[in-house]
Amino acid sequence: MAKRDYYEVLGVERGSSEAELKKAYRRLAMKHHPDRNPDDKASEEKFKEANEAYEVLSDAGKRTAYDQYGHAGVDQSMGGGPGGAGFGGANFSDIFGDVFSDFFGGAGGRGGQRGGAQRGSDLRYTLELDLEEAVRGTTVTIRVPTLVNCKTCEGSGAKKGTSPVSCTTCGGIGQVRMQQGFFSVQQTCPRCHGNGKMITDPCGSCHGQGRVEEHKTLSVKVPAGVDTGDRIRLSGEGEAGAHGGPAGDLYVVVNVREHAIFQRDGKHLYCEVPISFADAALGGELEVPTLDGRVKLKIPDGTQTGKMFRLRGKGVAPVRGGGAGDLMCRVAVETPVNLDKRQRELLEEFRQSLEGNSSNSPKANGWFEGVKRFFGDL
């Protein structure tokens, strides 16, 4: 089958510039690339046709021969036929690298960008605090294992008095180009791992890594009101960067220990206050603890277990601002134990005095009435 005119294949005029040829080819290569058109023979043929046309017209010598003699002027050098196009030319490799950049979002495909200075890793440290420390704020000293720049080689990885040299495999670029059939692919240099430099005489302290492990002692200011899960960021206190890159950050994560008296829920505190049977029945006044000291709590007569008393402003002032929460005191009536003979006699007299008077125990009376109705319905 007769070949189409190369200018017609690319959709350009005969006097088109190199930039216009390149733009037209890239558009066709992106449209008909086999990866975008799997199992589409027509697109595959158009892709090969565009490759052949661009290789001829992007080469000044071949283009001149083609303009003068047509296909006959270039078929011999091309190896004859559409399938014999040579895809190893420098111009083709450059343009195909651009196409790969569009496909995969990076120079030369999936190999990634050239290495070099790399930011150090962020670190996490769990800080255990008592409730009082978390509520009031404190300053603590912590010791953190991390990677720091080697002082001997100042982070270069090379023995003192020497310097890293350009990689002999990639020539200092950090990437190598590989030709695989239709594809010209750039990938990270396997020798220098994308850094572009290699160390011929490594530092004896860090063995060429440029970093060594040490423990850093840091002072951490904990703001008042922090709670479990809050993070304090210490900028630049993470691992040292590789090859002169910036250090990462250290995140101090707060964990508040359980308290013997209080439970925290956001900005509110909760506690359980045991009271005697007599105080619950007759009423009275109790001292209850808060984080600021003791306060008086008035207990009215007839108080039942589960009654909640609110002490406003005795909770926690949140770290992100706002008023302090409240302290919620839940009453628990305590049944007396280990009674002596006289105490038992008094309680027995008290129990007998209650018999037949439902007004002294309204909840119990209502419950027994409900039980009677339940069994009556059965």
Residue 1, pLDDT score: 58
Residue 131, pLDDT score: 95
The sign one gets for the Cα dihedral 95, 99, 100, 106 is positive
Average pLDDT over residues 38-54: 86
Decide: helix, strand or coil at residue 263: strand
- Do residues 185 and 141 touch, judged by C-beta distance below 8 A? no
Average pLDDT over residues 158-183: 78
pLDDT band (50, 70, 90) for residue 139: very high
CATH number of 263-370: 2.60.260.20
Q: Is the pLDDT of residue 205 over 70?
A: yes
Residue 368, pLDDT score: 63
Average pLDDT over residues 299-313: 93
pLDDT, mean over the chain:
81
The sign one gets for the Cα dihedral 364, 365, 366, 371 is positive
Average pLDDT over residues 5-30: 88
Residue 298, pLDDT score: 93
Average pLDDT over residues 322-333: 93
pLDDT band (50, 70, 90) for residue 371: low
Q: Is the pLDDT of residue 369 over 80?
A: no
pLDDT band (50, 70, 90) for residue 377: low
Q: Which of 32-36, 176-180, 235-239 has the highest mean pLDDT?
A: 235-239
Residue 78, pLDDT score: 55
3.65.10.10, 1.20.1640.10, 1.10.287.110, 3.30.450.20: CATH of 6-104: 1.10.287.110
Decide: helix, strand or coil at residue 299: strand
pLDDT band (50, 70, 90) for residue 222: very high
Q: Tens digit of pLDDT for each residue in 257-286?
A: 999 999 999 999 999 999 998 999 999 898
H-assigned helices in 174-301 = 277-282
Please give the Cα distance from 246 to 238 (Å, whole number): 10
Contacts of 63 (CB under 8 A, 6+ apart): 56, 57
pLDDT band (50, 70, 90) for residue 303: very high
Structure-model confidence comparison of residues 95 and 287, the more confident one: 287
Lowest-confidence region among 94-98, 300-304, 319-323: 94-98
H-assigned helices in the chain = 6-10, 18-32, 41-57, 60-69, 75-78, 90-104, 131-136, 277-282, 341-354, 362-377
Please give the Cα distance from 223 to 231 (Å, whole number): 11
Average pLDDT over residues 164-182: 76
Q: Is the pLDDT of residue 69 over 80?
A: no
pTM above 0.85, yes or no: no
Average pLDDT over residues 79-103: 44
Long-range contacts formed by 189-192: CB under 8 A, 24+ apart:
191/167, 192/115, 192/167
Structure-model confidence comparison of residues 114 and 33, the more confident one: 33
Count of all residues that appear for the chain in the document: 378
Average pLDDT over residues 105-121: 54
Please give the Cα distance from 280 to 360 (Å, whole number): 13
pLDDT band (50, 70, 90) for residue 76: low
Average pLDDT over residues 68-77: 72
Q: Is the pLDDT of residue 88 over 50?
A: no
Structure-model confidence comparison of residues 341 and 373, the more confident one: 341
- Do residues 173 and 180 touch, judged by C-beta distance below 8 A? no
Query: Spelled out in words, what is the top-level CATH class assigned to the domain 123-256?
Result: mainly beta
Question: What does the block give as tokens for 300?
Answer: 């009215």
Decide: helix, strand or coil at residue 181: coil
Average pLDDT over residues 120-137: 93
Please give the Cα distance from 61 to 81 (Å, whole number): 19
Contacts of 346 (CB under 8 A, 6+ apart): none
Q: Is the pLDDT of residue 340 over 90?
A: yes
Please report, for the chain, the start and end positions of each structural domain, with discontinuous segments joined by +.
6-104, 123-256, 263-370
Contacts of 86 (CB under 8 A, 6+ apart): 55, 78, 79
